[in-house]
Amino acid sequence: MIQTEKEKALYEAASRNYKAGYNCAESVFRAFCEELPLDVSADALRTAAGFGGGIYSKEGPCGAATGGVMVLGILAGRTDPAQDKKPMKELAKDYVAQFTEKFGALSCGCLNKYEPNTPEQKENCHAITAQAAVLLMRFIEDRALRTGI
Q: Over the stretch 92-142, which tens digit does the pLDDT of each residue have?
A: 999 999 999 999 999 999 999 998 889 999 999 999 999 999 999 999 999
Strand, helix or coil for residue 107 = strand
Sketch the domain layout of the chain as residue ranges: 5-142
- Inter-residue long-range contacts of 10-17, CB under 8 Å, 24+ positions, other chains counted: 10/35, 10/133, 10/134, 10/136, 10/137, 11/130, 11/131, 11/133, 11/134, 12/130, 13/133, 14/64, 14/129, 14/130, 14/132, 14/133, 15/126, 15/129, 15/130
The model's pTM is 0.94
**pLDDT tier, 149 (very low <50, low <70, confident <90, very high otherwise):** very low
For the chain, percent of residues with pLDDT exceeding 70: 98
**pLDDT tier, 2 (very low <50, low <70, confident <90, very high otherwise):** confident
